[in-house]
Amino acid sequence: MLFSDDGYVAGMKAGRPTQRPRTPFGERIAQARELAGMTQLQLAEKLGVSQEVVAYWERKPVALRAEQLAALADALNVTADSLLGRPTKQPAPKGPPGKLRQAFDRAHKLPRNQQNRIVELVEAYVDRYASKAS
């Protein structure tokens, strides 16, 4: 092993790894930070705080002010709800509602030639009733 002048193994992160487990909120911050490809120091610089503050947020129970939470979410390119562990609402699916959607979902799993036959049938049906409505 190669040791640097400060006694650490070369390439090792500075500082001592903590033995303290992350809080659920801290875990969500750390996951979002890592997905964003940032270190604690990089996130801290982006937020204008120290690396120790980010480490504290990840390890201790904290109550951030609304503006801090908003800045943290923006810096990590996530929603405040995701940091808070709130389920994100899925946008309403596009396309037909209810039974029609279910039928199309099942048809989507069929082989391509059978899908084409269904499309022909539906188009013919829609064309027939669209001309009657005009």
In this prediction, residue 129 carries a pLDDT of 82
The C-alpha atoms of residue 43 and residue 57 are separated, in whole angstroms, by 12
44-53, 70-79, 90-99: segment of lowest average pLDDT? 90-99
Query: What token pair was written down for 9?
Result: 């193994």
Query: What token pair was written down for 6?
Result: 């400060």
In this prediction, residue 24 carries a pLDDT of 92
- Higher model confidence: residue 20 or residue 81? 81
Kindly indicate the confidence band of residue 13, based on its pLDDT and cuts at 50, 70 and 90.
low
In this prediction, residue 16 carries a pLDDT of 61
CB-side exposure of 22: number of CA atoms within 13 Å? 13
Average of per-residue pLDDT values in the chain: 82
The C-alpha atoms of residue 29 and residue 67 are separated, in whole angstroms, by 16
Entry pTM = 0.55
In this prediction, residue 47 carries a pLDDT of 95
- On the question of pLDDT at 18 being above 90, the answer is no
Instruction: Enter the DSSP assignment of 100.
Output: H
In this prediction, residue 72 carries a pLDDT of 96
Query: What token pair was written down for 3?
Result: 């040791």
